[in-house]
Structure 1
Amino acid sequence: PYLYRTAFHSTTLAEESQRALEHLEQTIQLEGPSTIAAIIIETVVGTNGVLVPPPGYLQGVRDLCDRYGIVYIADEVMVGFGRLGEWFGIDAFDAKPDLITFAKGVNSGYVPLGGVVISDRIAAAFDNVSFAGGLTYSGHPLACAAGVATFEVFRRDGILERVRDLGSRVVQPTLEAWAEKHPSVGEVRGQGLFWAVELVRSKETREPLVPFNAAGADAAPMGAFAAAAKKGGVWPFTHFNRMHVAPPLVISEDELVRGLAVLDEALDVADSYAD
């Protein structure tokens, strides 16, 4: 679901959720449920736009998977372990996947580590059957030790609570103010410390500030915005016509406010390309 650029001609989040689920069910029926082993979904779509699922959508996916005998896998590599202010991002939504994949934030990347959480129902299938999924580097002691240490820091420093606080009290109101202030800001969306700012040439037409997959002169507006941010001391993450705001979970409030102020000024450059 992507209401801002809906493919379903929706006008509300509820409508977008319903129509996206109807489209998913049609796709399942067209492909044939017996040909689909699993549906893998990022709880919040990351690099492709920080798309937060509307209320009820992930539960609707869960219901479809149950109806058609499909395994529901939640990809939590980007949002797991605090990015949304929860241990797992799925905890913020009313849905229970069969499997959860995770990595990155589980130990802050100090040592490569990833894993899979498996539901009791799936695990029970291997009570009397050998699970042939072992790898020679599984259970690396150094990586796992880094993971345990990360959990201890999360609890000691109240990281999850801090992410929720900074997200709702600092980031969200700041970005929403940008949407009112800057003609180039079409939409802001996100949760916790995981946000996207979509830049446009026109708020009315929602034409992207640069074309998708733009290169060379076509990409100049985003390049100029990024250069202005770097000049101010912030290296922005940009993708197509979007800027993502996803600071370290341990960022201080002062650092966060100063970084957002730099991006605010850089948006003045983006505004010069807007209608």
Structure 2
Amino acid sequence: MMPSRSESIINVDSVSSSVGGVASHAYTSSKHAVMGLMRNVATELGRYGIRVNCVSPHFILAPLTKEFFKIDESAGVRVYSNLDGGLPKSICSLKELKTLDASNCASLACIPSSIGHLASLQCLLLWGCSSLREIPDSIGKLESLAELHLTRTAVAELPRSIGNLQNLRILDICRSHITELPGAIGMLTKLLDLRALGCKNLEGLPKNMGELVSLNKLNLEKSGITSLPESISKLSSVQNLSVRYCQKLRGLSELPFGITALRITCQGPALPQLFPTNPSQETHSF
């Protein structure tokens, strides 16, 4: 190694080497030992041009981790977070990045506009980022984006540029602060799944909803919607529609004939006359 003066040594450690109180004394001590060894060796070999570094992973939902913390897949959330306020602007340099998962980063308050440079990004997971209030307009530049998850964020408005996401398949705004969806959403011709469960501030949908020709699932459970636009009848690909527990919903317009699963909540002793008259429509109510 020393003659070549261009080698690199990578040690694998744990976040427990810098965060206390999340593991046993023995485990934490052993990880501090790895970090200390790395620093010593780096000092010793640095004069020979040999780089010594350490990778300290955060929580990873692996079999040993699930057994240690006694959790299953559904409980696999981020235990640690080193994001203080926002993502670094330098993130734009990750040209090959396909998945950005910042789930449960409660301190994440902003997304840099440079995120628009991530041309390869396909999945953006911001689930549980409770301090996040705004999505930058530059998100419209993510031509490869297929999934956008904003569940349990403080985002109240989506940028109009979202209509440029021509490859978006899943839009998840469940339990967010969204008050309305921009009309540009009608441009999402490849959107398959729109999730707005628990959006209590969402009172209606854009009039051009009927332009979502590929939409298959529409979940509006526990939202604040008062009515559905008439254009919803044009959603020929919709098979699953849920408006359960929408207490402000006054009625349903004519529904798409292709629906195979309709979920509603009845406030009275009988089903109201809310359905289209087409006898061929198969309807399931819960």
Please tell me the TM-score bracket, short chain as reference.
under 0.3
- TM-score of the pair, normalised by structure 2: 0.22
Structure possessing the higher relative contact order (Cα contacts under 8 Å, 6 or more residues apart): 1
- TM-score of the pair, normalised by structure 1: 0.22
Q: Select the structure of larger CA radius of gyration.
A: 2
